[in-house]
Chain A
Amino acid sequence: QKEVEQNSGPLSVPEGAIASLNCTYSDRGSQSFFWYRQYSGKSPELIMSIYSNGDKEDGRFTAQLNKASQYVSLLIRDSQPSDSATYLCAVNRSGGYQKVTFGTGTKLQVIP
């Protein structure tokens, strides 16, 4: 079992719709969770971090964390073509000093 699992996609959504990206992790002691966005040929950039159960909203983005079920999700409301990118889920493993494990990413395509 991979430490951090994501569906590779592509996930296609029409412009204006809600895109839902999911991630599961295996280490129950994980404490910090991140979503990075990576445009093709570019480096990852952080868009959301979440540390406690529940929802965290930032503009059109909402991160959701459920530690009991070991999943974290990212919702993108009013999806725009500029949101088309690969979204990487990252998890800070327990005991891992400032080290995170990345999932392989989900490719999102927003269709105009």
Chain B
Amino acid sequence: NAGVTQTPKFQVLKTGQSMTLQCAQDMNHNSMYWYRQDPGMGLRLIYYSASEGTTDKGEVPNGYNVSRLNKREFSLRLESAAPSQTSVYFCASNPGRGSSETQYFGPGTRLLVL
């Protein structure tokens, strides 16, 4: 049982390049989330998926798109990377409505946009 996994662990992009951050969970959780964490800003929600087939914007969605590919996988895409998107990105999952609200985090992806 690996929990929440993320790939890649670290990535350097040039401004304007695109990339997809991958996230998968093997806990049969319904809800999945993407956060970014910046110094002094805490964890901020980018997008979330309450259940398979649904996605919703969080606090800072601009510049990002997401896909809930199936119950296990939730990807985050940067279409045209900007230096302001330099951050640490965490994926998280949660069992869903009526269950514990504990969020289980992946190890993070460190992204540097030059």
A100–B31 Cα distance when bound, in Å, is 12
A101–B58 Cα distance when bound, in Å, is 10
B101 touches A49 (CB 8 A): yes
Stretch at the interface among B13-21, B36-44, B68-76, B78-86: B36-44
Residue of B31, B102, B105 near A43 (CB, 8 A) is: B105
Contact with B along A69-112 (1 / 0, CB 8 A): 00000000000000000001010100001111111110000000
A8 in contact (CB, < 8 A): yes
A97 touches B50 (CB 8 A): yes
Judged by DSSP, the binding face of B is loop
Q: Which residue of B lies closest to A41 (CB)?
A: B108
B34 in contact (CB, < 8 A): no
Judged by DSSP, the binding face of A is strand
B90 touches A104 (CB 8 A): no
**A interface residues, how many (CB within 8 angstroms):** 22
Which chain A residues lie closer than 8 Å to B94 at the CB level?
A: 98
25 A–B contacts from the bound complex (CB under 8 Å)? A8-B40, A32-B101, A42-B107, A42-B108, A43-B108, A44-B103, A44-B105, A45-B105, A46-B103, A49-B102, A88-B43, A90-B103, A97-B50, A98-B31, A98-B50, A98-B101, A99-B45, A99-B48, A99-B58, A100-B101, A100-B103, A101-B45, A103-B42, A104-B41, A105-B42
Q: Which residues of A contact B (CB under 8 A)?
A: 4, 8, 32, 34, 42-46, 49, 88, 90, 92, 97-105
Beyond known contacts A88-B42, A99-B33: 11 more, CB 8 A cutoff: A42-B108, A43-B90, A43-B108, A44-B105, A92-B101, A97-B97, A98-B94, A99-B58, A100-B101, A101-B45, A105-B42
